[in-house]
Structure 1
């Protein structure tokens, strides 16, 4: 009986052996047939497609110091990196977790595949890195049917083997990291490292690499923002695999598994991140360039898919300092504005000098110019329907300053009320530029691009006030050889009707009114204190047209009428234009057009565009230097003197914060403040030998402004941003921002040292005024 049972067992075992070999040989034969008759599986990628897989590559915006400022993309925020840019710990984590025998197979892991067949997939899917890459590139989402899944798996095998023949192991790993979607717009390892840790791939440490590799299992499920606990657990599995395959020891594994994820989430959407307003400008620049510069085959470049690289002049460090200065100053200034313009104190808040009828007209104009109106009009709504929609409460997210920081709040508000709310905010515009090269180093077009997209650097133009006065003084120095030390009478002055086409007599007053006169002032003192009557005397001597001509040569393209009132800054001009104009003074009279883009390359590194500097001689070196010395007086004894103070204000008193000046600069600084009528616009233009920076602050409508000059002047509104920015620039020694004096011309013939003898100018005759008539 026992013998019969033994024979039965032997027969059964032999049957299993036969079945095993039948299945094994049948599987081998099937695979061979599959490779011989691949047409039954539909189209498979040929040699050329494998060489150039169709992946969308984002256009990358690169700073002058080699940092990524942002990208242009629609769906795929992908910028590929080479194998040599990947850290070894990232590669080790991938192999240990996804394909331990990666270097021992040719695309298919036979041992893993056999194990998966025998265990019916319960021991793992056995997909190699090459197979997973094949799936990502060519086969897509898995089929739901059994036949479909088998067919897809066979396709993956075929493509994986072809990939192994086509590429090196290193190239396959690099492609796999570059193709994967890590979620949150993190397409590829470059974007993932930046978005989750604010790093380049090569800077990732072991636990960061382990987290990202863990996401390969399912980036939707293992999303660090939505599922941090699950992601940490998955990361720890990767660390266990690294220890299991002897990449790390147990002590390192245990230590790292206790660590938190330590995310530094840095979104890369078009409205977030660094230099958002500059990127908005660049979007338009690139679209214009693409229209005029087709590919060699005549087709157009795609800004969002072709993987272009745009090399810019923006310095990421200086850009961050500029944005930080805005973020530090603006909530303080805004807090005081809100304090002065409560509905109780000002029933028409935020507007001043407007009655209710004027306010309604203003709001109606703004309504029709807004995005909401445009969208609803396009949808076929009537004007009446659109207007009604502005008075219906709607869920929305609005901007606010909260505890001194930019924030958002979800609320329910009528669109018309949200418009009025936003009109109460003061906005900044700031640009910083190297005067020698024209390279723009920082560009801040507003305080929050998500909510205020209108760029106040190049797009917006506002009255420039006294920042225009140096151009009047320059024309007088150039034509009449005046010295900063020459004296003029500080008395009321008028330019008669019809002179220079004046429609009526023009009699400007000084800011202090009727009592703000007496004696004489040097030109240096007059500019430092923004004396209107002396500026009027100068434009009367040189004429308005030469001043307009000078402005045009200095790169100001905005319309400037040739009338005497321009001397006090009545034209609307952009920050971009003003910085370019002032830079010529620091650059010894040579105007250099501002440059933002230096080079454009395609995805293969072929140069498609390289900028050519645009320069022209506008002033003599002597005239430019004398103008600079005039403007140094603004920071030595005028409205910019606060830059020299070292008093650190108490944070508990807003007035002290505005009027206390913890800057303490001791180096030569040339500059000019500007304040427009009714305190609507505040300006400060400041420069040192290798950096010129302009700042504007004001509201969307000129009827929104401070009541008094205390806060509504350029020295309080704009100058603090310049001071905070320059303190940060000077603290960063790698920037080499100059603290030296402006270089004096070799043959300087105009006296700039006012301790020496000077002359007084007779307003009528141009002769010297005797010393005993100094009170004239």
Structure 2
């Protein structure tokens, strides 16, 4: 009675209060509806969704090499989504999805009551797939204590508009293309490729349930980090599918017992296949798009507009080359460190260490801050947990910055490139051992002395200028008076002998230094430099006799271009790496139509006869000379030619391998050029660089799909060239010459470089 009397007595006040409260709610809703708490997109805006998409860099055979993105998203069409994936999503996230108009009122009221009355910010749930899509498309902002309520109401408004604009299937498609998964991947296609190396259409029911299950808490249920949790959550999804009739009990029982097998693929800038090549593509695209946008009055963004970049890289060849590099250098690194022991320069050479420290970004940053030298060094000597690269995997160690610098000083690095000599298409690009820790690209940025790999160019010049291939040269050392007594020496005692003369083929295949300098005299230094330029070398070459021994500093790419001349009928290849660029609709923005064409309009750098002669000499290098371990150790029976190279003090190791349709160049050395190998036996090109090519070819031979490259045969050599090389490899001086000469005495004379008579 008292309550009734109270209500009757205060009926007007109560009604006014209720009306006022309702009015406040209406005004509050209206403030959200009209965008005072954040923009509410119109139906027109929602019907023209412009999602950020990752640019895909594709191999020659359409495999994904990597991506350029802000958000890693690869939208796909609805017909690429298997039914079991949709069933898993609906059963787990929104069982009444096909029944509501974007809002599940029952669940929404539950969340609002918990949020308002109980102040439970973690109440969660209640959001339909349409509402979750609204949240994905228009992310939440921090709006204080009322934020959760504002967001829920805002998302219901957007969800209802989405349902009016799109069909249920289109909403599912947009959701799966936008939802964030574990490891900073956005959309089902990116997640499928990242975790299972699979397209969405090929996902199994178990794999699909694993990914859908991770949506509840992408870090907590990350299958890579927490496999047990992920499997439990997957089974919850499978159970929901069973409960809602999407899965038979027998199938459920079988799938619930399966373990989760991941095949992680990394597509970040630092990880994944061919990272140095991808960075080269990125830099090219940056400049290309600047000009394209200016000319077309467009605003294409390489990171958000979903371009597809078709490249010339062969996915399988690149993968096998990286494997070969890691296998060889992992072993060679151990041998390298053991050879120095405690006397290693990165341990005891304080001047060298200090020089390296002062080049480091950490040192330069502290100096910029105004710290004294003493304070800087004190700071760099403080120990902290640092992640260090090693061939056994990244290791976190408690070391100082200086310790870290010393660690990286000792690591061997690598550059490797392979291209098709006929059209210049790049097939393999390895710029270093690990892009995360070594950004410097040893394919196009690094210039190193090339050692004996320059000798074929010297021999080419001599033959091109009329020297007979069967000309003999004395093995004897010569002291050149006009070069301050410079005396070129050979690498080993095997290259010594009384009164011996060797043919050019024998001398090149054994890489004999004393004869290379004499051939340069016949060729002429100026002629040789001009010949090298014709063959595609653009770096400045030193006008000195030691050019014959490879004191020129070139990039890996330059050397590959020059050697392509021997396989492309005297014409140096022009490197090409992009075949086509498409936008997200598949429209072609750029197409390199010359990629399938030979450079027939170019003038040959050398005659066909010279080309065949020098190529035959380099075949002998493989079969009998400095690179014969490709036959003996690696057991390669492929058609091969090539040249090894080792520089002074064993600083740089090189190998150039030629097959009928590939030029491959390998460099191995250290980033700090003041450190070399301890011995020639370890640091020579045949030991430090050649094995990468050897292992690569072994792997290629096992891949039947690469038979185009591994089973190719050189064009038949002309009869005239074979006859010109048909001479004994060595010849001893005659009786009277031997009688009146002292084999133990170094011959002394002036170096005389010829000029061309052409």
TM-score by length of 2: 0.84
Which deviates more, 610-619 or 312-321? 610-619
Partner of 1:242: 241
2:662 aligned residue (691, 696, 710):
691
- Tell me, yes or no, if structure 1 residue 672 matches structure 2 residue 647: no
Matches within 5 A, 1:50-89: 50-53=46-49, 55-74=51-70, 76-89=71-84
In 2, Cα distance between equivalents of 1:554 and 1:172 = 58
Which deviates more, 407-416 or 333-342? 407-416
- CA deviation map 1:19-43 (0-9, x unaligned): xxxxxxx9xx999x97997567763
1:638 aligned residue (625, 639, 644):
625
Count of paired positions: 705
SS at match of 2:679: coil
Report the alpha carbon displacement of residue 419 of structure 1 after superposing the two structures with TM: 1.9
Report the alpha carbon displacement of residue 393 of structure 1 after superposing the two structures with TM: 2.8
In 2, Cα distance between equivalents of 1:124 and 1:370 = 49
- 1:185, 1:268 within 8 Å by CA — same for their partners in 2? no
- Tell me, yes or no, if structure 1 residue 507 matches structure 2 residue 509: no
Report the alpha carbon displacement of residue 533 of structure 1 after superposing the two structures with TM: 2.1
In 1, Cα distance between equivalents of 2:56 and 2:294 = 18
- Tell me, yes or no, if structure 1 residue 620 matches structure 2 residue 620: no
Report the alpha carbon displacement of residue 212 of structure 1 after superposing the two structures with TM: 0.8
- 1:430, 1:695 within 8 Å by CA — same for their partners in 2? yes
2:589 aligned residue (602, 608, 617):
608
RMSD: 3.6
1:426 aligned residue (380, 392, 412):
412
Report the alpha carbon displacement of residue 165 of structure 1 after superposing the two structures with TM: 3.4
- CA deviation map 1:537-560 (0-9, x unaligned): 221112111211222222222221
Matches within 5 A, 1:113-512: 125-138=125-138, 140=140, 145=145, 149-294=148-293, 298=297, 301-343=300-342, 346=343, 348-350=344-346, 359-401=349-391, 406-480=392-466, 482-483=468-469, 485-493=470-478, 497=482, 504=484, 506-512=486-492
Partner of 1:714: 685
Structure 1 748/288 Cα, relative in aligned 2: closer, same or farther at 3 Å?
farther
Structure 1 772/592 Cα, relative in aligned 2: closer, same or farther at 3 Å?
farther
- CA deviation map 1:455-474 (0-9, x unaligned): 22211121111011011111
Partner of 2:704: 733
Structure 1 262/740 Cα, relative in aligned 2: closer, same or farther at 3 Å?
closer
In 1, Cα distance between equivalents of 2:390 and 2:35 = 62
In 2, Cα distance between equivalents of 1:135 and 1:422 = 45
Structure 1 36/569 Cα, relative in aligned 2: closer, same or farther at 3 Å?
closer
Structure 1 708/230 Cα, relative in aligned 2: closer, same or farther at 3 Å?
closer
Structure 1 506/540 Cα, relative in aligned 2: closer, same or farther at 3 Å?
farther
Structure 1 580/86 Cα, relative in aligned 2: closer, same or farther at 3 Å?
farther
In 1, Cα distance between equivalents of 2:189 and 2:406 = 42
Matches within 5 A, 1:512-551: 512=492, 515-516=496-497, 518-551=499-532
- 1:87, 1:202 within 8 Å by CA — same for their partners in 2? yes
SS at match of 1:751: helix
In 1, Cα distance between equivalents of 2:722 and 2:452 = 24
Partner of 1:657: none
In 1, Cα distance between equivalents of 2:227 and 2:729 = 76
- 1:313, 1:595 within 8 Å by CA — same for their partners in 2? yes
Structure 1 216/408 Cα, relative in aligned 2: closer, same or farther at 3 Å?
closer
- Tell me, yes or no, if structure 1 residue 93 matches structure 2 residue 92: no
Structure 1 39/294 Cα, relative in aligned 2: closer, same or farther at 3 Å?
closer
Please, which runs of 5 or more residues in structure 1 have no aligned partner?
A: 1-25, 498-502, 646-660, 763-768
- CA deviation map 1:440-464 (0-9, x unaligned): 1111222222223322221112111
Report the alpha carbon displacement of residue 48 of structure 1 after superposing the two structures with TM: 4.4
Report the alpha carbon displacement of residue 308 of structure 1 after superposing the two structures with TM: 2.8
SS at match of 1:260: coil
Which deviates more, 565-574 or 420-429? 420-429
- 1:629, 1:752 within 8 Å by CA — same for their partners in 2? no
- 1:678, 1:705 within 8 Å by CA — same for their partners in 2? yes
1:43 aligned residue (36, 39, 42):
39
- 1:492, 1:517 within 8 Å by CA — same for their partners in 2? no
- 1:543, 1:564 within 8 Å by CA — same for their partners in 2? no
In 2, Cα distance between equivalents of 1:39 and 1:390 = 53
Report the alpha carbon displacement of residue 118 of structure 1 after superposing the two structures with TM: 11
Report the alpha carbon displacement of residue 773 of structure 1 after superposing the two structures with TM: 8.3
In 2, Cα distance between equivalents of 1:136 and 1:60 = 22
SS at match of 1:411: strand
- CA deviation map 1:93-150 (0-9, x unaligned): 112222344445543457876898999999994533222211211263696756x555
SS at match of 2:87: helix
Structure 1 97/392 Cα, relative in aligned 2: closer, same or farther at 3 Å?
closer
In 2, Cα distance between equivalents of 1:125 and 1:412 = 44
In 2, Cα distance between equivalents of 1:125 and 1:757 = 87
Structure 1 47/714 Cα, relative in aligned 2: closer, same or farther at 3 Å?
same
Report the alpha carbon displacement of residue 750 of structure 1 after superposing the two structures with TM: 2.8
In 2, Cα distance between equivalents of 1:48 and 1:665 = 65
In 1, Cα distance between equivalents of 2:285 and 2:33 = 48
TM-score by length of 1: 0.82
In 2, Cα distance between equivalents of 1:56 and 1:383 = 47
In 2, Cα distance between equivalents of 1:437 and 1:231 = 49
- 1:510, 1:516 within 8 Å by CA — same for their partners in 2? no
- 2:453, 2:645 within 8 Å by CA — same for their partners in 1? yes
Structure 1 240/478 Cα, relative in aligned 2: closer, same or farther at 3 Å?
same
Partner of 1:500: none
Partner of 2:15: none
In 2, Cα distance between equivalents of 1:376 and 1:328 = 38
In 2, Cα distance between equivalents of 1:124 and 1:399 = 42
- 2:182, 2:214 within 8 Å by CA — same for their partners in 1? no
- Tell me, yes or no, if structure 1 residue 559 matches structure 2 residue 540: yes
Structure 1 90/721 Cα, relative in aligned 2: closer, same or farther at 3 Å?
same
Partner of 1:651: none
